[in-house]
């Protein structure tokens, strides 16, 4: 039917579908981004490997002794037990203080507060607060809790300071988790005659809980790793001893793992190099564990609407 | 000044009791007027369809019946909606109580991400229902014509059902608080024709016990499923107003107004 000289439809389509040439831009960009990723990962690995190697003597020769001994000026006897206890108590303190207040503030802002210039101002400034350097919170803790309220340099003050530090982060992550619950769910609950509180309690907060939990666990990890504010409010750098129960622990001198790292890194004796590295390994391991838990929780309960 | 329900029934709409008496109802979002002095009546055990072009305020009007617009901060209204003679917008009226009596089914099926059972039981629970909850759940699911499909999986999440089933579950959830009126905001717009037909059949059964008001974009649906049709459109100021309201039969065969005729025959909107 058609003449041999005229190209068939298939030929014409094949011609049009052919690639426009080698896409070198994509390849260059692809390579550059891969390099950037490898660089970031490489630096991290080198750092971790360096620390791990330095930590080996302590971690192999006296692992249990290191974890269960008190601070000491003699390297052979020094351990981080007080730092572990201090860090744990600080994080618990932060959890019990910052979580209820932060979640409550977020629920109020998202579910109850009307959209006025004042609430917009508050929202913006909570974001700003999250960006304030940690040392400033340390100064605040020193000025308000230690000096003004005269509480002294005790663990409770460290906990209060860290709680204020992570509060904005808790509010922001909780707000985001609440906002991810679609308006149609609120309408559904209100539509069958639920009050606002019944809607929030039975639906909005439970559905946002995985997000709230993830965000708050990450903020606890942040509190666990903070050094600067604790130095301001008197976490002990040298040696100390506390005898007694929880009350004595909470109201006595204290220290935390990052503070120990900071202190030992400045010691002249060579033996402290290995002790510092071993403490870093413990600190990083705990933080990785906590963050890993948060990621697992998020993946496990991730909800798609 | 006291407000009294008007006596004279609209011609052709029967003499069933008036459930909603809408009196010069206007709704605003901020400075924008979405509805302009709507006046009409909705009668018991009838299906009233509200039709009209997009943006004419159909949904706003529907959400006016159960004070759902209260949730929009900038929204306010003028005029009155009398429910069995009581002004829904009177200051002493509690919107939570209003919504217990005037249920709603939404455009997009919105089951809670909880079990089918809990979806239905939530309403009665918050209403303080003390009777046999299993029975109430079963009865509601039966009335919503979904019992046979879900009776063996009441503990599975409502969100795992198909779209049409989800919408019937939402109807069951609305029925479970034993409301007087069910408002439906384009309940079939996200459903396929088979699921749509099931919902329409269901509406027909439900009108024995409930008064139904439905907003729909679908002319055939309004023609098939409703007893009475109200046609809204909007003026140049984009405020919706009522053009005419009559029996569905009359609206679709002998409309009084040119605008209605143009709309239902597809020459407009």
Instruction: Identify the residue among B59, B126, B170 best suited for mutation to test binding to A, counting A beta carbons within 10 A and taking the highest.
Output: B126
Residue A97 lies in a domain: yes
Highest mean pLDDT among A136-140, A196-200, A229-233 belongs to A196-200
Q: How confident is the model at residue B2 (pLDDT cuts 50, 70, 90)?
A: very low
Q: Which residues of A touch B104 (CB under 8 A)?
A: 187, 191
Compute the average pLDDT of residues A106-129. 93
State residue A80's pLDDT score: 84
> Any CB–CB contact under 8 A between A303 and chain B?
yes
Q: How many CB pairs under 8 A join A and B?
A: 63
Nearest to A192 among B97, B99, B108 (CB): B99
Average pLDDT over every residue of A167-176: 94
Of A186, A193, A203, the CB nearest to B123: A193
A242 domain residue, yes or no: yes
- β-bridge pairing B211-215 and B228-234: unpaired
Nearest chain B Cα distance for residue A304, angstroms = 10
Average confidence (pLDDT) over B32-46: 93
**Is residue A279 domain-resident?**
yes
B 161-180 residues with CB < 8 A to A: 170, 173-174, 176-177
Cβ contact, residue pair A188, B100, below 8 Å = no
Cβ neighbors of B37 (< 8 A, separation 6 or more) are: B24, B25, B26, B79, B241
Separation CA B20–CA B38 (nearest Å): 12
Q: Could you tell me the pLDDT band of residue A294, with boundaries at 50, 70 and 90?
A: confident
Query: What range defines the domain where residue A248 resides?
Result: 83-301
The answer, for B221 touching chain A at a CB cutoff of 8 Å, is no
Best of A114, A181, A193 to substitute, by most chain B Cβ atoms within 10 angstroms, is A193
CATH of the domain at A264: 1.10.3720.10
Domain annotation covers residue A126: yes
Q: pLDDT tens digit string along A215-272?
A: 888 898 888 888 888 888 877 766 777 666 777 777 778 888 888 888 888 888 888 8
- How many structural domains is chain A composed of? 1
B129 shares contact with chain A (CB less than 8 Å): no
pLDDT (mean) for B209-225: 91
CB environment B219-232: b (16+ within 10 A), e (fewer): bebbbebbbbbbbb
The matching CATH number, chosen from 3.40.50.300, 3.30.1360.170, 3.30.365.10, 1.10.490.10, for B18-264 is 3.40.50.300
* A276 domain residue, yes or no: yes
CA angle B40, B45, B47 (to 5 degrees): 60
Q: Which residue's structure tokens are 């809204």?
A: B232
Lowest mean pLDDT among A14-23, A96-105, B84-93: A14-23
CA Rg, chain B, in Å?
A: 18
pLDDT confidence of residue B102: 95
Band of residue B1 on the pLDDT scale cut at 50, 70, 90 = very low
* The token pair that represents B183 in the structure block: 């408002």
A43, part of any domain = no
Q: pLDDT tens digits for A83-113?
A: 888 888 889 889 999 999 999 999 999 999 9
- Cβ partners under 8 Å of residue A39, min gap 6: none
This prediction's pTM: 0.83
Contact of A207 with chain B, judged by CB distance below 8 Å, is answered with yes
Q: How many angstroms separate the CA of residue A171 from the nearest CA in chain B?
A: 23
| Contact yes or no for A195 and B127 at CB 8 A | no
What is the model's pLDDT at position A12?
Answer: 87
Residue A179 lies in a domain: yes
ipTM field: 0.88
CA distance A181 to A13: 48
% of residues, chain B, pLDDT over 90 = 75
Q: What is the pLDDT of residue A305?
A: 63
> pLDDT value at position B8?
45
Residues 6 or more apart whose Cβ sits within 8 Å of residue A97: A159, A160, A163
Average pLDDT, chain B: 90
pLDDT tier, B172 (very low <50, low <70, confident <90, very high otherwise): very high
pLDDT greater than 90 at residue B89 = yes
């Amino acid at each position: 039917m058609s003449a041999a000289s005229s190209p068939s439809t298939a030929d014409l389509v094949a011609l049009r579908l052919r690639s426009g040439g080698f896409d070198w831009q994509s390849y260059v960009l692809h390579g550059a981004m891969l390099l950037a990723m490898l660089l970031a990962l490489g630096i991290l690995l080198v750092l971790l490997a360096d620390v791990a190697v330095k930590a080996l003597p302590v971690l192999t020769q006296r692992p249990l002794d290191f974890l269960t001994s008190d601070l000491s000026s003699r390297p052979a006897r020094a351990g981080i037990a007080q730092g572990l206890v201090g860090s744990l108590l600080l994080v618990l303190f932060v959890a019990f203080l910052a979580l209820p207040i932060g979640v409550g503030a977020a629920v109020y802002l998202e579910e109850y507060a009307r959209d006025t210039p004042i609430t917009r101002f508050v929202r913006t400034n909570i974001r700003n607060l999250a960006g304030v350097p940690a040392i400033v919170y340390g100064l605040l803790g020193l000025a308000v809790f230690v000096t003004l309220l005269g509480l002294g340099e005790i663990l409770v003050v460290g906990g209060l300071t860290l709680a204020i530090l992570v509060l904005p982060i808790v509010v922001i992550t909780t707000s985001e988790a609440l906002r991810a619950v679609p308006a149609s769910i609120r309408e559904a609950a209100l539509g069958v005659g639920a009050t606002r509180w019944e809607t929030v309690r039975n639906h909005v907060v439970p559905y946002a809980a995985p997000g709230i939990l993830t965000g708050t666990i990450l903020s606890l990890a942040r509190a666990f790793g903070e050094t600067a504010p604790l130095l301001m409010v008197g976490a002990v750098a040298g040696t100390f001893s506390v005898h007694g129960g929880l009350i004595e622990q909470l109201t006595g001198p204290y220290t935390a793992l990052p503070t120990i790292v900071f202190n030992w890194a400045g010691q002249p004796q060579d033996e402290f190099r290995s002790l510092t590295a071993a403490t870093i390994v413990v600190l990083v391991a705990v933080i990785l564990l906590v963050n890993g838990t948060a990621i697992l929780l998020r993946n496990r309960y991730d909800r798609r609407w | 000044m006291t407000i009294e329900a008007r006596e004279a029934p609209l011609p052709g709409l029967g003499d069933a009791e008036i459930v909603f008496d809408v009196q010069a109802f206007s709704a605003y979002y901020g400075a924008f007027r979405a509805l302009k002095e709507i006046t009409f009546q909705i009668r018991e055990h009838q299906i009233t369809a509200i039709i009209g072009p997009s943006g004419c305020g159909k949904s706003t009007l529907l959400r006016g019946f159960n004070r759902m617009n209260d949730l929009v901060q900038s929204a306010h209204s003028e005029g009155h909606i009398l429910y069995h003679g009581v002004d829904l917008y009177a200051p002493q009226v509690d919107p939570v109580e209003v919504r217990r009596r005037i249920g709603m089914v939404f455009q997009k099926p919105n089951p809670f991400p909880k079990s089918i059972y809990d979806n239905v039981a939530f309403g009665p629970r918050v209403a303080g229902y003390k009777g046999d909850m299993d029975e109430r759940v079963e009865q509601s699911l039966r009335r919503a014509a979904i019992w046979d499909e879900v009776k063996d999986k009441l503990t599975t999440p409502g969100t795992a059902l198909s779209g049409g089933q989800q919408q019937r579950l939402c109807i069951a959830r609305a029925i479970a608080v034993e409301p007087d009126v069910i408002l439906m905001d384009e309940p079939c717009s996200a459903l396929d024709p088979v699921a749509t037909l099931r919902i329409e059949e269901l509406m027909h059964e439900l009108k024995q016990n409930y008064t139904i008001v439905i907003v729909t974009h679908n002319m055939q649906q309004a023609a098939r499923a409703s007893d009475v049709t109200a046609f809204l459109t909007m003026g140049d100021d984009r405020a919706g107003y009522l053009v005419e309201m009559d029996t569905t039969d009359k609206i679709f065969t002998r409309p009084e107004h040119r605008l209605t005729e143009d709309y239902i025959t597809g020459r407009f909107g």
